[in-house]
């Protein structure tokens, strides 16, 4: 696995944490969306499939919505995948302030485009 794909997992989640805390300006949404392929889709913990446009709308409405949000990424594992793809499993924890951390298991598919890793698909499930 290209270590830059794992770096992208951490880098994007750092940006998302800053976004939901409003530590970056709302006009940074276009920069945030450059991390996603045009054909990106995800299934979140609610079990609903979202395309790139729906994810962008979710982000737009969530700017500053979770002050104090802490996102932790751990246990990143690569899964064999053909180039130009990278498939990564990881645990993602969310906590607000001193609140309890809720965990999810995630499977991300990234695709290398123009020398950059872009998110192609994401599947999340809550940890029981």
CATH number at residue 112: 3.10.450.50
Q: Which whole-number Å values give the CA distances from 6 to 64, 65, 103, in the listed order?
A: 26, 27, 19
Residue-level pLDDT at 128: 80
- What distance separates the 2 farthest-apart alpha carbons in the chain? 41
Residue 63 DSSP label: T
* Residue of higher predicted confidence among 61 and 3: 61
Domain with 33 in it: 3-126
Q: Which whole-number Å values give the CA distances from 20 to 27, 33, 65, 120, 125, in the listed order?
A: 13, 14, 6, 22, 20
Residue-level pLDDT at 3: 67
Cβ proximity of 113 and 127 under 8 Å: no
pLDDT, the chain, mean: 94
Mean pLDDT of 10-35: 96
Domain count, the chain: 1
């Amino acid at each position: 696995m290209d270590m830059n794909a794992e770096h992208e997992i951490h880098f994007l989640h750092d940006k998302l944490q800053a976004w939901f805390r409003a530590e970056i300006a709302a006009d940074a949404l276009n920069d945030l969306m450059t991390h996603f392929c045009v054909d990106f889709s995800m299934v979140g913990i609610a079990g609903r499939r979202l395309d790139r446009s729906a994810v962008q709308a979710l982000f737009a409405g969530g700017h500053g919505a979770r002050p104090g949000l802490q996102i932790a990424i751990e246990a990143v594992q690569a899964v064999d995948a053909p180039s130009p793809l990278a498939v990564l499993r990881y645990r993602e924890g969310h906590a607000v302030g001193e609140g309890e951390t809720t965990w999810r298991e995630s499977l991300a598919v990234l695709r290398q485009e123009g020398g950059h890793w872009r998110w192609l698909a994401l599947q999340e499930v809550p940890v029981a």
